[in-house]
Amino acid sequence: MEITLTHYLVLSAVLFAIGLIGVMRRKNLLLLFFATEILLNATNIAFAAISHYIGDLSGQMFAFFIIAIAASEVAVGLGLLIVWYKRTGKIDLDQMTSMRG
Amino acid sequence: MMDHILSLLIFFPALAAMLGFVVRQDSIRAYGIAVAGIEFFLSLWLWYAYDPMVSGMQFMEAAPLIPAFGINYLLGIDGISLFIIILSTFFTLIGIASLTETRRVKDMIITLLFLEMTMVGVFAALDAIVFYVFWELSLVPMLYIIGAWGGPLRIYASVKFFLYTFAGSLVMLVGMLFMAYFYYQATGTWSFSILEWYRLILPENFQIWLFVAFFLGFAIKVPMFPFHTWLPYAHGQAPTIGSVILAAILLKMGTYAFVRFSLPLFPDASVFFMFPIAIIAIIMIIYTAMVAYAQEDIKQVVAYSSISHMGVIILGTFALNVEGVSGSVFLMIAHGVVSGALFLLVGVIYDRRHTKLMSEFGGLASVMPRYATIFGIMMMASVGLPLTINFVGEFLSLLGFYKQSHMLTLTAGVAIIVGAIYMLSAYKKAFFGQVSKEENTKLKDLNKTELVGLVPLVIVAIWLGVYPKPVLEPINNSVESVIQLMHDKAQSAEAKERIPNLSESNGIISMQEAH
Amino acid sequence: MFEAIAFYLFAALTIVMFTITVMTSQALYALTAMAAGMIFISAFFFILGADFLGAIQIIVYTGAVMALYAFGMMFFDTTRNVVEKRTNPQIVFILGTLAAIMVVAIVVAPIVSNNIQALYPIQEGVGNSQAVGMVLFTKYLVPFEVAAVMLLVAMIAGIVLAGKKMDKSLTLMAEEEIEMMHASTETHQERGEH
Amino acid sequence: MELYLYIALFAPLAGSLFAALFGMSPKTKLTGYVASALLFASFVSSAVLLNYVMSGHTVHVELMTWMATGDLYIPFGFVVDQVSVVMMMVVTIVSTVVHVYSIGYMDHDKGFNRFFSWLSAFVFSMMVLVMSDNFAGLFIGWEGVGLCSWGLIGFWYQKESATWAANEAFIMNRIADLGMLIGIFLLYWNVGSLQYDVVFAEVGNLPIAVVTWIGIFLFIGAMGKSAQFPLHTWLADAMEGPTPVSALIHAATMVTAGVYLVVRANPIYDLIPNVGIFIASLGAFVALFAASMALVNRDMKRIIAYSTLSQLGYMFVAAGLGAYWVALFHLMAHAFFKALLFLGAGNVMHAMHDELDPFKMGGLRKVMKGTFVMMTLASVALAGIYPFAGFFSKDLILEVGFVEHHYVIYTVLLLTAGLTAFYSFRLVALIFHGEERYKLFGIHPHEAYKFMLVAMSPLLVLAIIAGAFKMTYYQLVINLLPSTQYHVHSEMTYWIMTIGTQLFVIAAIVFAYKKYANWSSVPDGTSKMENRFCYKLLWNQYYIPKFYEEVFSKPYLELSRIAWKQIDLKIVDATVDAIANAIYKTGENTRDIQDGNLSSMLRWMVVGLVVLLALAVAFTVGYNAVGA
Amino acid sequence: MLEPVNVSLASLNLATLAPMLIAIVGALSMLVIDLVKGGLHKSLYVMVSLLFLLLDLGALVDFGGVFLKNGTVLGFFDVMLMDGIAILSQIIIVAGSMLFIPLALTSKRFHEYNYPEYFSLFLFMIAGFQFMVATDNLILVFVGLETASLALYTLIALHNRRKSFEAAVKYFTMGALAAGFYAFGAMILYAISGSVEINQIATILAEDHYSNIGYVLIAVSFMIAAFGFKLSMVPFHTWTPDVYEGSSAALAGYMSIVPKIAGFVVAMRLFEFLVHSGVVWLQVILYIGVVVTMTAANIWALVQTDVKRMLAYSSISHAGFVMAAILIGTTQANTGLFLYWALFSFTNLGAFTMLWVNRQKNLLPGQSSDHPYEKFSGMVKTMPMAAIMMGLFMLSLAGIPPFGLFWGKIYMIGSAVSAGYTLLALIMALNSAIAGYYYLKLIVFMFMKEPMVGYEGYYLMNASLSLKTIIGVAAVGTIFAVFAVNPLLEVITLFVYNSGY
């Protein structure tokens, strides 16, 4: 019952898939942003695991930067959401179809 | 100056067009005539300075353009291109001189001058890409002319014209790039120079593919059956001047390109495709003649007749012997003169009555005798009566192809019958009979402006029919070198046999030698 | 053994938490579940010896990100049930599952390689934070600084977007209206000064 | 002598251009005078040349190069030799007469100037045709006369029937011209030249099959111009043109160009007797066939036209059987009396205000004495009564048939001679004898201008005495043509034949007079005879024009319409548009992929990813399978 | 214990950071200026930006010289990689930006230009792109990419109207998903190679003889998805038309050029070695991707009713066209990529600037988007010069010689031909023909239709000297491109070849 890298990769893949489902499924933009966080986190686990199993720090570095990126994204994303909400009073993405075709 | 005469010929009208933006609306016509006149005399000077005994390229110019990719600004003319250039300048002059358009004349004249640049450029280019540049660029002014001054369906017609030709030429462009690549493989340097390409002997299967690629571009331009359907629309909708230039010059680009590219570059493929193309040409000749016969609009008759005549040109080109190719090159000039004149003539009546339906006319011969006479002369020229310009070309083209196939020539010869049928019946409908319509009784005969345009054409049509030598001789010399080149390059036994070898005595007694 | 138990435990927990995050219709549940999931993930980091990462995970995600989201939720007033219109829900699950299956199908195969070398090896006896710091400030100094710029960008973006100036749009106002607006603000300022 | 050659050739052209200058102006007699004078000059020059040629010389000039490319070299070369000079004489005599005559005939026509322009242009073309020293030059003239014939048949272009006939003539000729053109191509590619002298020198070395084809194709050309079956229908319709035109073009000159071609190309046809037989048979057939149609026709000019056709048949019999000089001789004699006949008919038409039905005339001899005499004499000549011109030429052809042992042909020709006499005198009787039926229609006929009659008189003289020149002519042309003499071996047979033929012909004349000289009513289609099948068959010209109309013209038009509306618009063009539309429609139908909803955009991204992954997995599995 | 690391300053090659630092300093300085004195006119910021960009460009040109002399320069523990394509792409990025920034000087006031932060963010974005291309470290690529993207999202939103927010949110959300893809792809690459540097990954994969082919393909799939988003390949393109429509025309033009070239360079670094190693799958996928992107985008462009959206689809199609270079993978093709993009940037920026010039603030009744075709009808009669300019750009985009893009096109197709991709060359050529239709449609509206009544006053509303200058520059660049092609070609070939592509 040794836990190998494969376990982590599978876990990461499953979490990533959950994130994908969330991204596709959510109509509430805020909740949709949650799902994108899951995607990045899923990757982070794998990075840390790989880093651990091959004994290399680059993976952790990558994960570190991903966390930074996720944080920045949240800031900008929320900023965008706020202006959108201020202008329309909604954060439902089904309302966002003024451009199409 | 003589060293750069071709560049001058190409860019003078363009420059003049730019300056034309400044000229005021009411003086623009005189300006246009002056520019086109100077250009025409320059081209005549070119003829004067041209040495007809030299079969190769003359007035060569070269300047690096994109040497890294083998693209250079190469110009030069031989007997094949010389006269088409003169024809282009001639028709631009005539077109502007007899212009009856009143809407936005300035735009029209500037556009025409730009068009002139592209036309001369196509025929003077010796670099495939420079050729292609002018070839494509010529679409734009013509698009504008049809689209802005045309009839009710003008937009459909102009877009169709543009896209169809554009699509075809893009395939041709791929062919050119392949050609350059093969050259690169053979020599290690890129080159788009046509004269350099002439030196390249390709394996037959390559030739066949490249031939097809080039063919598509040329065939749509010519236009060959079944790629011809843009032409009736373009002609039907275009203003008179547009049709004139389109029929007289632009269509010739395709046939000229066959002689300039397809034959010398792919001699084996030319022989390989000779019969299929001849069959297409025959379909063009007979089928479009029939379609022309069924038309109700006199302009469409002339339009379809153009296609039919282009069939003869194609046939002559693929005779692959001196007689046929010279004939087809001559026929290009001839058809330019004749169809240009016919379109001008149709324009005359359209200006007066704003309809082109033959059922609207009838009996015009008594109301407009001068008009009827000139139309009659041009019609007979179109039908290919001896001593008119068309006959020389048609006779030589058919004569040339007869060497290759008896039956096909016999079938193609039907051209002279079906051509007479649609032309005479159209003439009969429009000019003979009683004047049945009230509006027609007061029509004015040709005025001076129109005569200025038409009379020179009549003179040329008869002069070159009676005495084609000044034109035919330079053509002949250049064609001979093309044919010899083809023979030397040909690889398959069939090609060697089909393309005559001119350097040896071929057993036929030449009268020229005897004299 | 302990490792295995921990792995499976936390794996199950994260999966459940994230599933709740994406499936629930209660925004608050989602938020809470995600925060929990983040913390469980940090557990993996600790298991894997990436202590620094684990700490960062907790601080940044649960501390900053989740707080931001919480503020956002308050702002948007989405603490109530969120009604989301679902179109073709099956397709979403099919696609998600397919993606997972494909990736898993490949990654179940072990990685065969003799050439993987640790360029920045994890050395025994060196604290994780120390090692990370070492690499971060040598090799990854440039990315680190760029990340700083990125955060600055994010900050500016957040401030600008959420700022009051966005309330009126010059893009949509006619030039005259802008003139009038400027004139009124100037008088406001003047009044303020005096 | 070259000067005379050029005058003979270019004087008509000058006349034509002079008249053309006045083409748009109101009628002026000047054009008529100038054109006629120039033609007379041409005639005089031809006479001088004849004199010169009689002394055993020929004139050969090369004006300039026409076409030269590759090995092809075609000059404008002209030759006056024994054959062409005969033709020149015929052409210039008849055309001079016709020109002068036309000054009177076209007196009241608005298109007077135009008429002379065309007419002189025609003469010029005809001169080119006969004088050219190569086949290409011949073809110029060949097409040129076609053009002028088109212009002159359709001279009264307001008339639908005239323009229709003009186009028919032109197109039918074109069909034949194609054959001729092919013949020329064959010659060029096998001989390498189109000059007569080179061709005739070389033709003997060619394979016989090639020569046969050359002969056939050239003859197809001749068939069109000379209106031989099945390309004969245009000639009768061509009578829509002014009568002088019919006299000049459709009797004397142009239609005989085919005969001239065969005569000129005799070295070719000598090599291929089988083709000759075919020509002769066709000629005999046409002779009878045309004569039969003339029997019942009620159009004066058409009757004469059928007669022309029939006589052309005679000429081809002679030419086909190798008796080229005989053919040419008959050509010459026929030109004179047939032109005379037509001009006479023209007088009658004038008198009758363009009425053509002889049944509506009758008794005109009282008012038109001169014309009566001339037409009667011309008919006698046509019937071949001794000592008129027709006797010498036509009897000779009968003899040729007999001597060459083609008895069927002989019989047919003999029969035709009888028919000829019958319909000629039927016409004369109906017009000039019997009751004055024209009075029913309120017409007041009058004789033509004097000078017109005077102008016709040279033809009358020639029609009477041309036979006397037979031996002179013979001596002249045998320089160029095979000199075979055609004599029936036994004196006895000869006399029986000659006298028998004469009697037969006279009997036919008498029969015609008996039947028609006292005709009193205008047939209205109710009589028993008119309802007979034979009559109807002949009346409708064996239904051939109808057949052509139904089988060629209409289907061609219909086919053309189909080609345009169905094939060109609905298939070829529609395909192009369909491709464009298909592309555009694809865009229209798939643009909803971009429905503007963020959710579906994200889904598309995932779809893309899943597809990529699926492909990756598939590839990996495949790769491993292959690898293993 | 950790050994202290001794690094000599010289080995760091600090100069490799210079170009980006110039941009960052520029951005910061503008923030400072604003802090010191608020409410300054936008022209100041435009000029300051221009100044720093000029410096940036100067530094890059200088680097170009260095590169030609000494070859690739590595810096900062080999994180920075200043090779030929990095320099080239940065030059295009900076030059494109320099053409873009004067577009802020419109005669009408728009919201975003009211912010000094706008210009500051703009320079940060450029720095981000520069980092992105000047490295082969996947981490720095990611960080640079995100820096640039986040700034870009904000720039779009700052236009401050409903559509621009919508565009920004859409772009942002999809970008976040793409970031996830990128991270996952990088993770797998790291898993099989233990490295996050592309050249090392390449080496290790080659040493392993691609034994983990499944992993490689999964990684590449994710990477294609990520860069497919950035380069708007079908079906990851869906953001493009909406975002272009939502943002200002100027920014849309900018987006069609600069972010893409950055994406191309990374894609080149990432995929080229795989293509060369004979990963058939990738060739097939790229082939399909290129063809589908070109064709589908063209087909959708046909049915657009708004010129800006049409240009958006056309940009997608052009990007697909250029993607072919990565598939073909020869030096000639990669040279073609840069040549094409350099020429494309002039033309496309010109076209979008023409739209920008014609932008009016309020939509008229019945007008549903900023630039419907009808708005341009009969333009030649009211404003001939403007119509001719626009026509010129359309012709160039359609690939009519001798205008700019034609030369890029033949070079690209030529490279396809010489690499043996005959069918691809044909498809590329025929796609140009399809594309001809929609470019022609605008020309038809401008030159062949009658002017619309009621629109007269709204044309050229936004024109100003600086916009006209930019159009002039673009037009000159488009018309006389033929003379620039040869030097460009020689330089680019040198750069690309010496970078090993």
The per-residue pLDDT for range D362-411, each reduced to its tens digit, is 788 888 888 888 889 899 888 888 888 888 888 888 888 888 888 888 88
- Chains touching chain D through at least 3 C-beta pairs below 8 angstroms are A, B, C, E
pLDDT in tens, B310-331: 999 999 999 999 999 999 999 9
D609, closest residue in chain A (CA to CA): A20
Q: Which residues in chain E are closer than 8 Å to D616, comparing Cβ atoms?
A: 214, 217-218, 220-221, 281
Q: What is the DSSP letter of E451?
A: P
> CB–CB of C95 and D620 under 8 A?
no
Tokens encoding A2:
């040794």
**Dihedral of CA E133/E139/E145/E151: which sign?**
negative
- Burial-class residue D64 by CB neighbours within 10 Å (0-12, 13-18, 19+): exposed
Q: Determine the distance in angstroms separating the CA of E192 from the nearest CA of chain D, rounded to an integer.
A: 16
- Burial-class residue C105 by CB neighbours within 10 Å (0-12, 13-18, 19+): middle
Nearest neighbour of E448 by CB, restricted to B148, B166, B181: B148
Question: Could you read off the pLDDT tens digit of each residue along chain E, which spans 501 residues?
Answer: 567 777 787 778 888 899 999 999 999 999 999 999 888 888 999 999 999 999 999 999 999 998 988 888 888 888 999 999 999 999 999 999 999 999 999 888 888 888 899 999 999 999 999 999 999 899 999 999 999 999 999 999 999 888 899 999 999 999 999 999 999 999 999 999 889 999 999 999 998 888 888 899 999 999 999 999 999 998 899 999 999 999 999 999 999 999 999 999 999 999 988 988 888 889 999 999 999 999 999 999 999 999 999 999 999 999 999 999 999 989 999 999 999 999 999 999 999 999 998 888 777 777 778 888 888 888 888 888 889 999 999 999 999 988 999 999 999 999 999 999 999 999 999 999 999 999 999 999 999 888 877 666 666 678 888 999 999 999 999 999 999 999 999 999 999 999 888
Q: CA B167 → CA B114, B173, B280, C40, distances in Å? A: 22, 10, 20, 61
> CB–CB of E184 and A43 under 8 A?
yes
Is pLDDT of C191 > 70? no
B65 interface with E at CB cutoff 8 Å: yes
Q: CA B222 → CA B164, B257, E256, distances in Å? A: 12, 10, 38
> CB–CB of E139 and A61 under 8 A?
yes
Q: CA E365 → CA A101, B323, E362, E368, E369, distances in Å? A: 21, 68, 9, 8, 11
> CB–CB of D599 and A99 under 8 A?
no
| Cβ atoms within 10 Å of E4's Cβ, excluding its own | 7
Q: Which residues in chain A are closer than 8 Å to C132, comparing Cβ atoms?
A: 57, 60-61, 64
Phi, psi of E40 (to 5 degrees): -75, 155
Q: pLDDT-derived band of residue B513, with 50, 70 and 90 as boundaries?
A: very low
Give residue B58's identity as a one-letter amino acid code. Q
Q: Determine the distance in angstroms separating the CA of D622 from the nearest CA of chain A, rounded to an integer.
A: 22
* Physical contact, B and C (3 or more Cβ pairs within 8 A): no
Nearest neighbour of A100 by CB, restricted to D595, D602, D603: D595
Q: Which residues in chain B are closer than 8 Å to E410, comparing Cβ atoms?
A: 69, 129, 173, 177
The span from the CA of E187 to the CA of A15, in Å, is 14
Q: What is the DSSP letter of D27?
A: P
* DSSP for D469-518, written as a single string: GHHHHHHHHTTTS-------SSHHHHHHHHHHHHHHHHHHHHHHHHHHTT
Beta bridge pairs of residue E66? none
Asked whether residue C101 is assigned to any structural domain, the reply reads: yes
**Dihedral of CA D590/D596/D597/D598: which sign?**
positive
DSSP 3-state assignment of B76?
strand
Interface mutation vs chain C, best among D603, D604, D619, D623, most C CBs within 10 Å: D603
| Cβ atoms of B466 and B245 closer than 8 Å | no
Asked whether residue C79 is assigned to any structural domain, the reply reads: yes
Which pLDDT value is given to residue E107? 84
Same domain, yes or no: C107 and C149: no
Asked whether residue C165 is assigned to any structural domain, the reply reads: yes
> CB–CB of A31 and C30 under 8 A?
yes
Radius of gyration of chain E (CA): 22
The span from the CA of E7 to the CA of E2, in Å, is 15
| Cβ atoms of A58 and C120 closer than 8 Å | yes
| Cβ atoms of D200 and D268 closer than 8 Å | yes
> CB–CB of A28 and C82 under 8 A?
yes
> CB–CB of D561 and B432 under 8 A?
no
Sole residue written with tokens 């979403």: C92
CATH number of the domain to which C51 belongs: 1.20.120.1200
Radius of gyration of chain B (CA): 22
| Cβ atoms within 10 Å of A4's Cβ, excluding its own | 12
Mean pLDDT of chain B: 90
Interface mutation vs chain B, best among E338, E339, E480, E486, most B CBs within 10 Å: E486
Is pLDDT of C82 > 70? no
Domain boundaries in chain E?
A: 11-498
Its ipTM equals 0.93
Tokens encoding E18:
């210079």
> CB–CB of E128 and C146 under 8 A?
yes
E351 interface with D at CB cutoff 8 Å: no
Name the least confident of B32-46, C108-122, D445-459, D499-513. C108-122
Tokens encoding E47:
């000029």
Q: Which domain holds residue C111?
A: 85-116
Nearest neighbour of C19 by CB, restricted to A18, A45, A63: A18
Same domain, yes or no: C138 and C179: yes
Sole residue written with tokens 């840069």: E338
Same domain, yes or no: C7 and C60: yes
| Cβ atoms of D172 and D224 closer than 8 Å | yes
Please tell me the number of Cα atoms within 13 Å of D332 on its side-chain side.
31
The span from the CA of B67 to the CA of C141, in Å, is 45
The span from the CA of E393 to the CA of E405, in Å, is 9
* DSSP for E473-497, written as a single string: HHHHHHHTHHHHHHHHHHHHHHHHH
pLDDT in tens, B189-235: 999 999 999 988 999 899 999 999 999 999 999 999 889 989 999 99
E246, closest residue in chain D (CA to CA): D596
Q: Determine the distance in angstroms separating the CA of A98 from the nearest CA of chain C, rounded to an integer.
A: 17
Radius of gyration of chain C (CA): 25
Nearest neighbour of E402 by CB, restricted to B133, B177, B184: B133
> CB–CB of E222 and D609 under 8 A?
yes
Same domain, yes or no: C8 and C74: yes
Q: Which residues in chain E are closer than 8 Å to D599, comparing Cβ atoms?
A: none
| Cβ atoms of A43 and A8 closer than 8 Å | no
Query: Which helix (DSSP H) or strand (DSSP E) does residue B439 occupy?
Result: none
Same domain, yes or no: C104 and C175: no
Q: Determine the distance in angstroms separating the CA of E112 from the nearest CA of chain A, rounded to an integer.
A: 14
- Burial-class residue B505 by CB neighbours within 10 Å (0-12, 13-18, 19+): exposed
Nearest neighbour of E207 by CB, restricted to C115, C123, C175: C115
Asked whether residue C121 is assigned to any structural domain, the reply reads: no
A1 interface with C at CB cutoff 8 Å: yes
The span from the CA of E310 to the CA of E292, in Å, is 17
Tell me which of C95, C116, C137 is where a domain ends. C116
Query: Which helix (DSSP H) or strand (DSSP E) does residue B490 occupy?
Result: none
Sole residue written with tokens 């142009």: D254
> Total structural domains in chain C?
3
The span from the CA of D259 to the CA of D246, in Å, is 18
Q: CA B123 → CA B76, B132, C72, distances in Å? A: 9, 11, 70
Long-range Cβ contacts of D584-589 (<8 Å, 24+ apart): D584/E299, D584/E302, D584/E303, D586/E299, D587/E299, D587/E300, D587/E301, D587/E302, D587/E303, D588/E303
- From B51, B46, B44, B52, select the one nearest B477 (Cα to Cα): B52
- Total-model pTM: 0.93
| Cβ atoms of B103 and B4 closer than 8 Å | no
B164, closest residue in chain D (CA to CA): D576
Same domain, yes or no: C74 and C101: no
Asked whether residue C47 is assigned to any structural domain, the reply reads: yes
Which A positions 67-96 lie with beta carbon below 8 A of chain D?
93-94, 96
The span from the CA of E413 to the CA of E400, in Å, is 14
Q: pLDDT-derived band of residue B507, with 50, 70 and 90 as boundaries?
A: very low
Count, in order, helices (H) and strands (E) of chain B. 25, 2
Q: CA E352 → CA D325, D593, E92, E344, E346, distances in Å? A: 88, 25, 17, 12, 10
Same domain, yes or no: C72 and C89: no
| Cβ atoms within 10 Å of B481's Cβ, excluding its own | 20
Nearest neighbour of A65 by CB, restricted to E142, E190, E194: E142
C108, closest residue in chain A (CA to CA): A6
Residues of D at the C interface (Cβ-Cβ below 8 Å)?
A: 599-600, 603, 606-607, 609-610, 613-614, 616-617, 620
DSSP 3-state assignment of E197?
strand
> CB–CB of C96 and A11 under 8 A?
no
Interface mutation vs chain D, best among C98, C106, C107, C111, most D CBs within 10 Å: C98
Nearest neighbour of A23 by CB, restricted to D594, D595, D602: D602
Task: Show the domains of chain A with their CATH numbers.
Answer: 5-93 (1.10.287.3510)
C171 interface with E at CB cutoff 8 Å: yes
Q: Determine the distance in angstroms separating the CA of A29 from the nearest CA of chain C, rounded to an integer.
A: 10
> CB–CB of E174 and D586 under 8 A?
no
A87, closest residue in chain C (CA to CA): C167
B462 interface with D at CB cutoff 8 Å: no
> CB–CB of E411 and B69 under 8 A?
yes
- From B328, C146, D41, C34, select the one nearest E20 (Cα to Cα): C146
The dihedral over CA atoms of E54, E56, E62, E67, expressed in degrees to the nearest 10, equals -140
Q: Which residues in chain C are closer than 8 Å to E31, comparing Cβ atoms?
A: 156
Same domain, yes or no: C130 and C78: no
The dihedral over CA atoms of A82, A87, A90, A91, expressed in degrees to the nearest 10, equals -40
* Physical contact, A and B (3 or more Cβ pairs within 8 A): no
Nearest neighbour of A21 by CB, restricted to C22, C122, C150: C22
Cα distance between the two ends of chain A: 54
E440 interface with B at CB cutoff 8 Å: yes
> CB–CB of A69 and E309 under 8 A?
no
Interface mutation vs chain C, best among D600, D611, D613, most C CBs within 10 Å: D613
| Cβ atoms of E242 and A93 closer than 8 Å | no
Q: Which residues in chain E are closer than 8 Å to B148, comparing Cβ atoms?
A: 380, 447-448
